[in-house]
Amino acid sequence: MSSQEEQLSPKERQKRWQEEHYAKQLAKLRQQAKQAAQRSYGIPSTTGLLAYPPLPNQANPQQQGEMPPQLYLHEGLDDAFKNGKVDVSRFLLQSGAPMTRATPAAVLRAPADKQVALFQVLIEHGWTVNTPESLLPEIFRSNNEPLFDWFLEQDADPNVAGPQYDQEQTLRLAASQGTVQVVQKLLNAGANMASSGLYWAAGAYPEGSVPNIRRVEPSADFDKSRIPVMELLLENGGDVNHRLETHHMEELYPIVNAVKAGAVERVKWLLSKGADPDLKGWWGSARDYAKLDSSDEMKQVLGVEQ
């Protein structure tokens, strides 16, 4: 160890070691990229993205025992994303790193302040915010508001923002957990959630609750916290007696969902806005549900005999 290194603190030595290690890795990737570009069997295109090129599962017959160059580049790209290296990510994509279905989601592992720039690099190579499916649900959960705003600015469609089997996932998360500001942003972006959002907001319950197994008893603050969102949705055309379109056996009306969630204040609010406590779904009406397993206060609000 040199005298100059001896004067460095352990933290500074660790940082210098990491920088040197990263520089060596980058040089190696650059060399591999140059070699890959010269291969006769080519590199999958990263533009278009209507069909993502699959990663090869075996080495080129001419190069038995070697890892295919696409895999070198793919691993390097994944590492660059994780470390928030924007320029390196751009270089690797330009060098032929394949963009798979999992590539966009990998950006969410990067430092939060680098994610917008990394997604911009993907856009430069043919990706769109709705290809192959929106990442809005994951971004909502990450609480990265600048990235959430950026996705909406790039015309992310909030109505199909989720897996194919649950395309309303973002709207449901926002209604049941989001702030008024987040819900307003989704409405501004064209979200069709006024009535369905009322249903989800009415039935929000604390994390860890198991409403089908034991009674949910939220705090008064948690109960009331959804009412401003419900007010906003009502102002935007929400129907307090909207029947949920579903193929599952679940509560069909906002007020029944609120009773299930033990949300007395929300039930009071819904009644004040004209919700019908006698509309029946799979499990009966709000009053029927209250008779089965609700607090005395809930039964009193709904006029159910205790």
- Residue-level pLDDT at 241: 97
- List, in order of start, the domains of the chain with CATH numbers: 70-127 (no CATH), 193-306 (1.25.40.20)
- Give the span between the Cα atoms of 297 and 90, in whole angstroms: 60
- Residue-level pLDDT at 22: 64
Helices (H), 83-135: 86-94, 103-106, 115-124
- Residue-level pLDDT at 62: 44
Residue 257 near residue 226, CB atoms below 8 Å: no
Cα–Cα distance list, 241 to 38, 118, 178 (Å) = 65, 44, 22
- Residue-level pLDDT at 127: 92
- Residue-level pLDDT at 102: 86
- Residue-level pLDDT at 58: 44
- Give the span between the Cα atoms of 258 and 261, in whole angstroms: 5
Query: Which conformational region is residue 102 in: left (phi greater than 0), alpha (psi within -120 to 50 degrees), or beta?
Result: alpha
- Give the span between the Cα atoms of 10 and 159, in whole angstroms: 51
- Residue-level pLDDT at 53: 43
- Residue-level pLDDT at 200: 95
Q: What is the pTM of this model?
A: 0.74
- Residue-level pLDDT at 292: 87
Low-confidence residues in the chain, pLDDT < 50: 37-65
User: Phi first, then psi: what are they for 281, rounded to 5°?
Assistant: -125, -150
- Residue-level pLDDT at 222: 96
* 202-249: pLDDT as tens digits: 999 999 887 878 889 999 999 999 999 999 999 999 999 999 887 776
